[in-house]
Amino acid sequence: MLAHAVLAATLAGAPSLAALGAADDESETGPEARDPGSPGEPEGGRAAEWRALRERKAREPAEAYSPGFFERLMLKADQGRLPKLAGWNVAGFYPRIQSIAVGSRTALGLRFWQPDVAGTTFDVHASAFYSSAGYQYYDVQLGRVPHDGAALPLRATDGADLYEIGARSGDWSRELTVYGSFRYWRYTELEYFGSGPRSDAGDHSTFLAEGPLAELVVGYQFDPKLAIRARAGVFQPEVGPGEDALLPPVDALFDDVAAPGLDDQPDFITAGARLVLDLRDVPGAPHTGAFVSLHYARFDDREEDAYDFDRFSYDARGYVPLGAKQRVLALRAFGSFDRPADGARVPFYLQQSLGGTESLRGFQHFRFRGDELVLFQAEYRWEASPAIELAAFLDAGAVAAAGSGPDLDDLETDWGLGLRIKNWRTVFLRFEVARSSEGTRFVFNTSSVF
Amino acid sequence: MRPPHPRRRRVAAAALLGLWLAVATGAAAQGMFRHDDPLQRDADDIPIPKPAEIELSTSHDVVYHSLADRGRGEGVRAMNVNTLGEVPDSSWFTNRIGVRELSLEELARGPDTVEGPDTSGPWSVVAGKSQGITPGFTIVDARGDTYFIKFDSVGYPHLATAADVIGTKLFHAIGYNVPENYIAHLTRARLQVHPDARLTRGRSERSMRDADVDAILALAPREPDGSYRVVASRAVPGEPVGHRLFYGTRGDDANDVFPHEHRRELRGLRVFCAWLNHDDSRALNSLDVFVPDGERGHLRHYLIDFSSILGAGSDARRQIAPQSRRAGHEYIIEWAPIFKTLFSFGLWERPWRHVEYTEHPEIGRLEADYFEPQRWKPEYPNPAFRRMQMEDAFWATRIVARFDDERIRAAVAAGDYADPGAGRLLAGLVRARRDKVLAYYLRQLSPLDEPAVRGEGAERRLEFAHLGERHGLGGVSGYDFEWARFDNARGVRSPLGEPGFSPGPSLPVPADGADFLVVRIRGRSDEPAWRLPVDVFLRQRGRETSVVGIERAASDRSLD
């Protein structure tokens, strides 16, 4: 208020060409004309006038700066004083909001993470989550866990091997990792449409899968770009009818022939290894470079050898700037091949799948399952700013029974457009609309597709 | 400040109207010039209680200013100026090179009052920060002075420390309050962790150990002799009370009566920042300090942290590195280029992406060919910069013009580059950018300056300089002028004699007993703006005649 009074005073008191120009012909206009009788030398100085303004303000109640709600919130975020609900991987015990599995919807949980206990290289991690879809997830990790500073990779899942190397930053120096991991999950609404390329979207059923997995994981980082990880453990899966009230349970549409392992789920000894070569410039938001992962896993049925199988997979990704780094052609080829032992079958709940936010985005989650599959993805990405990226994409993939090899005639395709909110290091939000032969789907995700 | 509620806005508008009428009437009664004009000092140091601290969020500041203009008042002329268009000395600004010859020694010394941290004894580490953009620590030297120690980034030795010190010298010479920043060399042996030292790590704080110092030093580059080159920033006297904003006023500082977006030294800061590529000139890089005097005191306003100016900036990891290509060309969030890129499927490219730089590890990324001072932008919109008018820009430009090649070299030498070629390269770029600042802004109005009455009686002459001619931007073949008596109380002028012409910047002052005279001067030049009128006001008190006011017409007062 007072400031504007000063403003008015300045406008009225300071000379200006407008005022002077108006007075050129001695015409008397403006506020100056109201006091024709004033003497040539005015009383009172400018310093006194400015001082009077200050004295007047001093008499008014002092009003300290008061940040608004969002400013207070963002200040706390800047200072790391916000509860760690999502996205942050920091030491301590705190609540967290995140997704725990495809279809889990939002999960609320608690996490404890203490790296370098008592100055050693021994780390402790534990978490527990319950989602709005009724999914549950619990885990504990003890040992030399791969982490980036105080941050922990997503979770000690098999797929996390892919990301552990990508999560490193300049101070990542833990070459050897050795840790024990115990996980238990209960996913209540996993989807099953049948196995093989001829599955019908109308056969949409759900099943429940749960079980503990205890593993020992050993990893070695040869180089900032090259790492290997091996793991072995015991897995005790249980499968049952899905709990989605709107969809039929899996056993209402399929029998044990169409859904191998439906009637009986043995315990497994698992073992595997993954080699990761990461040549991307920025793993979480690459503009150039390449990424290759080779993976082998063994699932050994401890009871009747009816479900013994080996899995071989590869994941190759390339990023080619098109004249400038703001335009990138991103390509991915993924293949997974399960080899069941003689007379054995691959359980339907362990089969690889296509469909959903990470693969065939125009199809429902787990839309296509099979013993073998291939996936090809191509994206033209362009950055409107460092924080906003758009993409036009094309996905194609096929599944097949073991040994038959995916048939290109069975390729399912989709295409679409995407918008990503990101920073230099990672994608925070991914919105996509994808069109396929089975309709249009909208994708909302909190990570990069590849 | 938070925008007021709409109802409060209406009440405020009504009150504003009432105040405007009251003050305008009062001002008219006082006349256009007061007896103490032109004011040389703004005594904004009346004793006040200590204001509350203002803490700002980096991310909020970016978003808050990117989404809307937070200043108030469009087309408003700067308010804290005297009748010559100058900024009086105040707690914000002290006229230095703009009003007097600043020797090379003075410029090189800058704000320094000592020779840097006392190296005759150990430095006691009293606090540390192990994470964030600038890991570092606070020390107390053998004299008992407190310094904040900042490092260069690995891979870019001297980049940040040189920029910080050069910026300190230049902004101090310009007139701003800046801390004493010294380049110093430290060894691990000199550092001793104080028993009460605390280490801040993210949200947590704990006792500091020797190993913490080692960890911080491990992130810093070492000199060939094994020492660490640092900037030691001496704690400014007084009690810090946070940042000052580029809009509004502090409600709890009675001295703060001019909205910051209407302060000339904050508007004109845009020109200096463009010249020196200080795109990090955000509110967070300011510091208000309460200078106590008994139980009360007053604020002193500082610019701090020049480590991201010239060719230095912060990279995507927010570490000091060569300046981003975007710096100075585009805001962090700027919708037009975003949409152009978006709807062209990425085929439209920002032109600045293709600018070629002569990069140097000690200098970073700076250039002067593509640089256009009027288009230069800080990281995000600044309400004071946005309101800069041509007369604000002229005020700043005439100060920039005072930095001759020698003074630029002296300032750059303070960066103490290892490679002499680095200093030469930077000085050349700073000179070239200065010339571009002059070439643009001195062509937007008639750059008559330094008016002074010389001689006595009938021999009196009004002499002045033409900054455009002085800096080789063009020629003026002479000046048309018209004298008038000026009725100060009424703001009315009466022609005095016939219009005249002078081939040079020296006009005869008519013998007349009026208290005030005014002369309108128009240059004869091919430069259109140099033909715009300039009015110079003289006050006659007895035998003394002095310049009391100056008004310049500009082709376009506002830049945005």
For A:300-329, CB contacts with B below 8 A are 324, 326-327
* 3-class state of residue B525 by DSSP: strand
pLDDT tens profile B266-315: 999 999 999 999 999 999 999 999 999 988 999 999 999 999 999 999 87
Residue A243's alpha-carbon distances to A238, B100, B345, in angstroms, are 14, 84, 44
Domains of chain B, residue spans: 1-30, 33-441, 448-552
- Indicate the pLDDT class of residue B5, thresholds 50, 70 and 90: very low
Nearest to B254 among A39, A58, A74 (CB): A58
- Average confidence (pLDDT) over B335-363: 92
Nearest to A35 among B349, B489, B553 (CB): B489
Residue whose tokens read 């590529």: B277
Structural domain includes residue A44? no
Residue A43: its pLDDT value, please?
53
Residue whose tokens read 């609900």: A85
Nearest to A32 among B254, B339, B490 (CB): B490
Bridge-based pairing of strands B500-502 and B476-487 is antiparallel
pLDDT tens profile B237-260: 999 999 999 999 999 999 999 999
User: pLDDT at residue A25 above 80?
Assistant: no
Structural domain includes residue A12? no
Q: List the single residue in B with minimal CA-CA distance to A72.
A: B57
Residue B408: its pLDDT value, please?
98
A52 touches chain B (CB under 8 A): no
CA–CA min distance B424, chain A (Å): 32
A35/B516 CB distance under 8 A: no
Nearest to B83 among A1, A5, A14 (CB): A14
User: pLDDT at residue B496 above 70?
Assistant: yes
d(CA B425, CA B412): 10
Residue B404: its pLDDT value, please?
97
Share of chain A above pLDDT 70, in %: 82
A94 touches chain B (CB under 8 A): no
- Weakest mean pLDDT among A134-143, A236-245, B208-217, B238-247: B208-217
Q: List the single residue in B with minimal CA-CA distance to A4.
A: B16
A392/B345 CB distance under 8 A: yes
Classify domain B448-552 at the CATH topology level.
Answer: Immunoglobulin-like (2.60.40)
Whether the CB-CB separation of A382 and A389 falls below 8 Å is answered with yes
pLDDT tens profile A115-152: 778 878 888 999 999 999 999 999 999 998 877 655 55
User: pLDDT at residue A357 above 80?
Assistant: yes
A83 touches chain B (CB under 8 A): no
User: pLDDT at residue A8 above 80?
Assistant: no
User: pLDDT at residue A446 above 90?
Assistant: no
User: pLDDT at residue A99 above 70?
Assistant: yes
User: pLDDT at residue A40 above 90?
Assistant: no
**CB < 8 Å to A16, chain B:** 77, 551
User: pLDDT at residue B25 above 90?
Assistant: no
A130 touches chain B (CB under 8 A): no
Q: Is A33 exposed, middle or buried (0-12, 13-18, 19+ CB in 10 A)?
A: middle
pLDDT tens profile A47-67: 999 999 999 999 999 999 999
Which residue type is seen at A37?
Answer: G
Bridge-based pairing of strands B476-487 and B492-495 is antiparallel
Q: List the single residue in A with minimal CA-CA distance to B483.
A: A24
d(CA B457, CA A303): 119
Round the average pLDDT of chain B to a whole number and report it.
90
Domain total of chain A: 1
Structural domain includes residue A160? yes
A202 touches chain B (CB under 8 A): no
A68 touches chain B (CB under 8 A): yes
User: pLDDT at residue B130 above 90?
Assistant: no
For A:385-444, CB contacts with B below 8 A are 385-388, 390, 392, 423-425
Backbone angles phi, psi at A236, to 5 degrees: -125, 80
Which residues contact residue B139 at a Cβ distance below 8 angstroms, ignoring those fewer than 6 apart? B117, B123, B124, B125, B126, B146, B147, B149, B191, B232
- Weakest mean pLDDT among A167-181, B225-239, B346-360, B466-480: A167-181
User: pLDDT at residue B436 above 60?
Assistant: yes
Which of B546, B414, B551 is closest to B109 using CA atoms? B414
User: pLDDT at residue A167 above 80?
Assistant: no
Nearest to B491 among A23, A48, A80 (CB): A23
Whether the CB-CB separation of A1 and B19 falls below 8 Å is answered with yes
Whether the CB-CB separation of A93 and A112 falls below 8 Å is answered with yes
Which residues contact residue B333 at a Cβ distance below 8 angstroms, ignoring those fewer than 6 apart? A385, A387, B62, B63, B66, B67, B380
Residue A175: its pLDDT value, please?
78
Round the average pLDDT of chain A to a whole number and report it.
84
Which CATH number covers residue A100?
A: 2.40.160.50
Nearest to B60 among A32, A39, A71 (CB): A71
User: pLDDT at residue A375 above 50?
Assistant: yes
pLDDT tens profile B61-119: 999 999 999 999 888 999 999 999 999 999 999 999 999 999 999 999 999 999 999 98
Interface probe, candidates B17, B32, B58, B62, chain A, greatest A C-beta count within 10 A: B32
CB atoms within 10 A of CB A367: 25
CB atoms within 10 A of CB B198: 14
d(CA B50, CA B137): 27
A12 touches chain B (CB under 8 A): yes
Backbone angles phi, psi at A439, to 5 degrees: 115, -165
User: pLDDT at residue B22 above 80?
Assistant: no
Nearest to B257 among A33, A53, A150 (CB): A53
CA–CA min distance A449, chain B (Å): 20
Give the relative orientation of helices B390-400 and B420-441 as an angle to the nearest 10 degrees: 140
**Dihedral angle computed from the Cα positions of residues B231, B237, B243 and B246, in that order, rounded to the nearest 10 degrees:** -100
- Weakest mean pLDDT among A103-107, A126-130, B215-219: B215-219
B252/A1 CB distance under 8 A: no
Q: List the single residue in B with minimal CA-CA distance to A24.
A: B493
Domain of residue A220 covers: 85-445
Residue A227: its pLDDT value, please?
87
d(CA A352, CA A311): 10
- Structural Rg of chain B based on CA atoms: 26
Omega cis (within 30) before B224: no
Residue A403: its pLDDT value, please?
87
Residue B201: its pLDDT value, please?
65
Ramachandran quadrant class, B329 (left: phi over 0; alpha: psi -120 to 50; beta: rest): alpha
pLDDT tens profile A258-272: 999 999 999 999 999
CA–CA min distance A417, chain B (Å): 11
Whether the CB-CB separation of B244 and B290 falls below 8 Å is answered with no
B494/A26 CB distance under 8 A: yes
**CB < 8 Å to B345, chain A:** 380, 382, 390, 392
pLDDT tens profile A312-352: 999 999 999 998 888 999 999 999 999 999 999 999 999 99
- ipTM, 2 decimals? 0.89
Residue A164: its pLDDT value, please?
61
For chain A, give the secondary structure using H, E and C: CHHHHHHHHHHHHCCCHHHHHHCCCCCCCCHHHHCCCCCCCCCCCHHHHHHHHHHHHHHCCCCCCCCCHHHHHHHHHHCCCCCCCCCCCCCEEEEEEEECCCCCCEEEEEEEEECCHHHCCCEEEEEEEEECCCCEEEEEEEEECCCECCECCCCCCCCHHHHHHHCCCCCCCCCEEEEEEEEEEEEEEEEECCECCCCCCCCCEEEEEEEEEEEEEEEEEEECCEEEEEEEEEECCEEEECCCCCCCEHHHHCCCCCCCCCCCCCCEEEEEEEEEEECCCCCCCCCCEEEEEEEEEEEEECCCCCCCEEEEEEEEEEEEECCCCCEEEEEEEEEEEEEECCCCCCCHHHCEEECCCCCCCCCCCCCEEECEEEEEEEEEEEEEECCEEEEEEEEEEEEECCCCCCCHHHCEEEEEEEEEEECCCCEEEEEEEEEECCEEEEEEECCCCC
> H/E element holding B8?
helix B6-30
pLDDT tens profile B354-374: 999 988 999 999 999 999 999
Which residues contact residue B486 at a Cβ distance below 8 angstroms, ignoring those fewer than 6 apart? B492, B493, B514, B516, B517, B518, B537
Q: A with B: how many residue pairs have Cβ under 8 Å apart?
A: 266
A256 touches chain B (CB under 8 A): no
* 3-class state of residue B186 by DSSP: strand
Interface probe, candidates B8, B10, B11, B30, chain A, greatest A C-beta count within 10 A: B30
**CB < 8 Å to B316, chain A:** 386, 423-425
Residue B283 per-residue DSSP state: G
User: pLDDT at residue B21 above 80?
Assistant: no
Give the relative orientation of helices B390-400 and B269-276 as an angle to the nearest 10 degrees: 50
**CB < 8 Å to B258, chain A:** 3, 6
